A and B are shown apart, each in its own frame.
Chain A
Amino acid sequence: DAGITQSPRHKVTETGTPVTLRCHQTENHRYMYWYRQDPGHGLRLIHYSYGVKDTDKGEVSDGYSVSRSKTEDFLLTLESATSSQTSVYFCAIREPTGNYGYTFGSGTRLTVV
C-alpha cells in the first residue's frame, strides 16, 4: 500500500490563529489532494497539486492556501482559522500508473474554538 501520513492527527486552535497541516508521501507520486469532510456535505476538494510548485484550487478553497516545495510534502495552511473550518481534513495521492486509484491518509481532526 502507498505510504501517506498526515500530521498532526488532532489539533485544537483558537480563532484567528494560523494553522498548517502536513501530508507526507513516500511514493513519489505527482498528484496530491486535500479534502475536508463535514456532516451533511461529504468530502469536498480544497486544493490539489500536480507537481512541485504546481497547485490549483478546488471547490472550497476560500480561506486556505497550499504549498508543495518537495514531491513528498503537501502543506495546507489556514491563514486565520475560523470556526467554520472545524472539520476533518484528508490528504490523498493518486497512483500514476495501473488503475490510477486514490489512496487516502488517516485524516487530521481540526477544532477551531
Chain B
Amino acid sequence: KQEVTQIPAALSVPEGENLVLNCSFTDSAIYNLQWFRQDPGKGLTSLLLIQSSQREQTSGRLNASLDKSSGRSTLYIAASQPGDSATYLCAVRLSQAGTALIFGKGTTLSVSS
C-alpha cells in the first residue's frame, strides 16, 4: 500500500530564508506527483506537478524535484515571505489507470516578518 510521508510536520522560519519541504513515498511506481498549498479553512491550490519521467519543475520562487527511485520529492521555496504561510501537501498518483491521489499529511509553514 502506498504511503506518503511529509517531514517536518511544522516549520517556522523568518522572512527571507530559503527552505525545503520533504515528501517521501513507499511505492516508486508513480504516474506523477503534485504539490498543493492549503490556506486555513480553504481548498487546495495546485502549485507544481511533476511527471514520473521528469526530475524537477519550477514556478517562480518554487522548485519541486523528484527522485522516483528513492521515493523522494522536495519543494524548495526561495526567499520566503509571510504570504507563504500555509500548509503544503504532497500527493502521488499511482501508475494504474483511474487511481486517485494519495496524500501526505502536510507541512504547516509559518513565515514571520
Contact = CB atoms under 8 A, between A and B. Distances in A.
Interface of A: 31, 33, 35, 40-45, 48, 50, 56, 58, 90, 92, 99-107
A5 to B, nearest CB: 11
6 contacts: A43-B101, A45-B102, A101-B32, A101-B46, A102-B101, A103-B46
A56 B93 CA distance: 16
Contact of A45 (B32, B43, B100, B104): B100
B43 A106 contact: yes
Interface string B16-40: 0000000000000001101010000
Nearest to B50: A99
Contacts of B101: 33, 43, 45, 92, 102
Centre residue among A43, A92, A105 by max chain B CB count within 10 A: A43
Interface in B63-112: 89, 91, 93, 98, 100-106
B31 A42 contact: no
B103 A31 contact: no
Report, nearest first, the 7 A-B pairs whose CB atoms are least far apart. A42-B105, A104-B44, A106-B43, A43-B103, A101-B49, A45-B100, A42-B103
B42 interface: yes
Interface of B: 31-32, 34, 36, 42-44, 46, 49, 51, 89, 91, 93, 98, 100-106
Contacts of A40: 105
A92 B42 CA distance: 14
Contact of B49 (A35, A44, A92, A99): A99
A113 B46 CA distance: 33
Nearest to B99: A48
Contact of A43 (B46, B49, B51, B89): B89
Nearest to B102: A45
A23 to B, nearest CB: 12
Contact of A107 (B31, B43, B89, B103): B43
A16 B51 CA distance: 44
